[in-house]
Amino acid sequence: MPSSIPASASELARAAGRIGAPPRYEELRRAYRLWRRSPLSVVGTVLVGVILLVAVLAPWIAPYDPLAQDFSVRLQPPSRAHWFGTDQFGRDIFSRVVFGSRIALEIILIVSVISGGLGALVGWVAGYFGGRMDEVLMRLTDMFLAFPSLVLAMAFAAALGPSLPNMIFAISLVTWTPYARLARGETLRTKALDFVEAARAMGASDMRIIFRHVLPMTLSVLIVQLTLRMGTIVLTAAGLGFLGLGAQPPTPEWGAMVSDGRNYIVDQWWMSTLPGAAIAAAVLGFNLLGDGIRDILDPRLRR
Amino acid sequence: MNLATYVTRRLALMVLVVFGVLVITFVISHVIPADPVLAILGGNAPAEKVDALRRELGLDKPLHEQFVAYIWGAVRGDLGRSLRTGRPVWDDIQQYFPATVELTFSAIFLAVILGIPLGVISATRRNQVHDHTTRVFSIVGVSMPVFWTGLVLLLLLYYRLGWLPGPGRLDLEILPPPSRTRLLILDSLLAGNWAALRNAVGHLVMPAFVLGYLATATIARVTRSSMLDALHQDYVRTARSKGLVERVVVLRHALRNALIPTVTVIGLVFGGLLEGSVLTETIFAWPGLGRYITTGYITLDYPAVMGGTLYIAVVYSIVNLVVDLTYAFLDPRIRF
C-alpha cells in the first residue's frame, strides 16, 4: 500500500515533534499567545479558576455553616452579614452557594469519568474489532442518541429514586454517546497506522494493542471533547436538581436551591436568583474555556 | 444508492430506533424502579391487596411476557392508566401535547427570525463589534439555565413591572375560545375572539423567548459559519465581479446556499426545545407535556412519566427523520 507511506511519514514527523523538548515549549508559547488574544477564553479561564478556588477553599470562604439553621434571621435580604441573604430556615445563602461549588465539581468529575470511560470503551471496541460488533454497538449508540438526553436522564433518575449518586449515574448513562463515536473514529484511524500493524506482527494481544497503542492516540481528542461538555453537564445536573431529581435537602445543590426559592420569588428574590447566577457563571465559564481550548487546538487557526 | 433506497433505509432505521426506545422505557419502568405496586398502594398495604394489583397490572407474569404486552400496548396507543388523573395516559398526552407544540413552534419561530439575521450580520462583518456581540450573545444563550432565566424574567416583567401576563396560557377572567385544534392561538383566531388572542399571545411571549433564546444562539452560530464559507466561494466572487449590489450578493447568492446547514440545525434544535420545554413549562405553569411528565415525577405516576417520555422520544425521532429527508431534498449534491 504505497499510499500509506506519506501518511505514516507525517505521523513520524509529528511523533518526533512531540518527543523533542524545544518544539513542545514552542507549542505552549503558541497556545499561550492564542489564549491571550481571545478575551472570551481569558474570561472563561478566570471564571473556572474562581470556581475551583472557591471549591477548594470553601470552609475558609464561607462565613457560616451551610446547613446551620437560625430562625432569628430567616428570609433576610442581602446585607453585610449575609451577602446573598438567608433562606426560610435562616441558612446563609452565600455559604450554601460556596459549598455548592464542591457538589457541582464533584458531579462534573464523576460524570466525565464514567461517561467518558464508558463511551471510549464502546468506541474502542467497536472501532478495533469492526464487523458485527461495530454494527451492534453503533446501533445501540444511535438508539441513545435518538432520545432527548435530558428527558432520558430524568426518566432514569426518577426510576432509580432521587438522590445525588443516582442522578450522576443517570446523567452518565445518557451522555456517553459522543465519546463513543469519537473514540470509534479515532480508533479506525489509528488502527490503520503502521506501528499498530507492526505491533500486531510482533504478536501483541488485542488488549495490549488497544491499551498501549490505540488508547494513548485517542485520549487527547477525548479529553478536549470532555472539557467542551462540562458546561452541559453542570446545566443538566442543575436542571435535574431543580426538578427535585438530584441531591435531596438539605444538601446545598445549586439547582435545588433555585427550586427552593421559587415559592418566595416575589418577596425574597435573592433565594432563587443568586444560586441561579452561580449556575450561569459556572456553565458560562466552562463553555468559554472549552471553546477557547478548541480554538487553540484547531489546526485551521494555526500560524 | 438512490433516494428511494435511502428513504426506505432511513425508515427502517427509525423503526429500529423506536423499538430501542421502547426497550429502554420498558427497562426503566419494569426492571429498575422501586416497586410500582408499592408506589401506588404505599409501603404498608396488606399482602393480598398487593398481590391483586400485581395481577391486575400483569406484573406477576414473566418478564418477556410483560415485554411483549408492553410493546403490543404501545403499538396500539395503550400506555396504561395515569395514577394521578385516572385516565388513559394516551388521552392525557393528546390533551397536553398541543400546548407544548404551541410553545416549541413559537420558540422556533422566534429563533429563526432572530438567529438567521444575526448570523448573516456577524458573517458579513466578521471580527467587528457586531460579530463579537453576536458571539457573546450566543455563548451566553447556550449557558443560561432556562429555569433560571425563566424565573428572573417572570420576576421582573410580571411580578415587578407587570408588562407581561404571568404563568399559564390564559388569564382566569378570559373566557377560552371553543377548543377545535387545542392550539389556543389558532382557536382564538378561528373564533374571532380577539381578547383571548391578545391574552394568549401575551402569555406565550415570555416562555417562547426563554426557550427560543437557546435555539437562537445555536442557529446564529451555524448560520454565521456557513455564511462565512459561502462568502468565500467562487460564485460569490463571480456575482461581485458582475457588479451586483452587495445586498443581492449576500442575500440571493450566499445566503441561499448557506441556509442548508441551518435547516438541519433547526431540526436538531427542535429536539433540544422539546427537552427545554420540560423545564420551561414547569416554570411558567404551562399545561404541556413537559409539565405532565414532571408532575408525574413528583406524584410517582410512573405510567404517565414513561408514556410521556416515550411520546417525546418518538416525536423527536420523527423530527430527526424529517430533517434528514429535507436535507436530502434540499441539497441534490448529497449522496446517500
Contact check, Cβ <8 Å, B145/A140? no
Contact check, Cβ <8 Å, A258/B151? yes
Mean of pLDDT values over B17-30 = 79
Residues of B in contact with A244 (CB under 8 A): 297-298
Closest-CA residue to B267 (of B210, B325, B225, B331): B325
Residues written for chain A: 303
Residues of A in contact with B316 (CB under 8 A): 146-148
Residue pair B37/B53 in contact by the 8 Å Cβ criterion: yes
Best of A97, A171, A242 to disrupt the B interface (most B CBs within 10 Å) is A242
Contact check, Cβ <8 Å, A239/B148? no
**Does residue B297 belong to the interface with chain A, where contact is any CB pair within 8 Å?**
yes
List the domain boundaries for chain B.
16-75, 90-330
Best of B89, B136, B143, B302 to disrupt the A interface (most A CBs within 10 Å) is B143
Cα dihedral A29, A34, A38, A40 sign = negative
Cα dihedral B83, B84, B85, B89 sign = negative
Q: What is the pLDDT at residue A176?
A: 92
Confidence band for A156, pLDDT divided at 50, 70 and 90: confident
Kindly indicate whether the ipTM for this predicted assembly is greater than 0.95, answering yes or no: no
For B104, the grid coordinates are 416549541
- Which class is domain B90-330? mainly alpha
Residues of A in contact with B93 (CB under 8 A): none
Residues of B in contact with A290 (CB under 8 A): none
Kindly tell me if the per-residue pLDDT of A8 is higher than 60: no
Contact check, Cβ <8 Å, B147/A231? no
Closest-CA residue to A176 (of A136, A215, A229, A126): A229
| Facing A276 at nearest CB: one of B139, B148, B313 | B148
Tell me if residue B34 falls in helix, strand or coil. coil
For Cα atoms B295, A277, A248, give the angle at the middle one, nearest 5 degrees.
45
For A161, the grid coordinates are 429514586
Closest-CA residue to B315 (of B115, B38, B123, B100): B100
Is the peptide bond between A250 and the residue preceding it cis, with omega within 30 degrees of 0?
Answer: yes
CA within 13 Å, CB half, A254? 31
Closest-CA residue to A285 (of A203, A230, A214): A230
Residues of A in contact with B282 (CB under 8 A): 242-243
**Does residue B32 belong to the interface with chain A, where contact is any CB pair within 8 Å?**
yes
Worst-scoring range by mean pLDDT, A126-130, A141-145, B162-166?
A: A141-145
**Does residue B329 belong to the interface with chain A, where contact is any CB pair within 8 Å?**
no
**Residues B115-173 pLDDT 10s:** 999 888 888 887 778 888 888 888 888 888 989 999 999 999 888 888 888 888 877 77
Closest chain B C-alpha to A234 CA, distance in angstroms: 9
**Does residue B127 belong to the interface with chain A, where contact is any CB pair within 8 Å?**
no
Calpha distance A169→B19 (Å, rounded): 23
Contact check, Cβ <8 Å, B139/A235? no
Closest chain A C-alpha to B17 CA, distance in angstroms: 5
Closest chain A C-alpha to B16 CA, distance in angstroms: 8
Closest-CA residue to B159 (of B168, B149, B169, B151): B151
CA within 13 Å, CB half, A119? 32
Residue pair B249/B240 in contact by the 8 Å Cβ criterion: yes
Q: What is the DSSP letter of A77?
A: P
**Residues A176-223 pLDDT 10s:** 998 998 899 888 888 888 888 888 888 888 888 888 888 887 887 888
Contact check, Cβ <8 Å, A148/B145? no
**Residues B183-196 pLDDT 10s:** 878 888 888 788 88
Closest-CA residue to B272 (of B220, B306, B308, B316): B316
Please tell me which of A46-50, A269-273, B16-20, B47-51 the model is most confident about, judged by mean pLDDT.
A46-50
Best of A137, A151, A248, A283 to disrupt the B interface (most B CBs within 10 Å) is A151
Residue pair B210/B158 in contact by the 8 Å Cβ criterion: no
Closest chain A C-alpha to B190 CA, distance in angstroms: 34
Q: What is the pLDDT at residue B128?
A: 77
- A92 bridge partner residues: A86
Kindly tell me if the per-residue pLDDT of A19 is higher than 60: no
For B277, the grid coordinates are 420545554
Residues 6+ apart with CB under 8 A from B226: B258, B259, B260, B261, B262
| Chain B, nearest residue to A284 by Cα | B143
Residue pair A34/A297 in contact by the 8 Å Cβ criterion: no
Mean of pLDDT values over B55-81 = 80
Residues of A in contact with B298 (CB under 8 A): 244
| Chain B, nearest residue to A140 by Cα | B20
**Residues B77-107 pLDDT 10s:** 888 888 778 889 999 999 899 999 999 999 9
Q: Please report, rounded to a whole number, the percentage of residues in chain B having pLDDT higher than 70.
A: 93
Q: What is the pLDDT at residue A59?
A: 92
| Chain B, nearest residue to A274 by Cα | B148
If one counts every other C-beta atom within 10 angstroms of the C-beta of residue B165, the result is: 21
Worst-scoring range by mean pLDDT, A37-46, A131-140, B129-138?
A: B129-138
Contact check, Cβ <8 Å, A142/B13? yes
Q: What is the pLDDT at residue A105?
A: 94
Residue pair A74/A88 in contact by the 8 Å Cβ criterion: yes
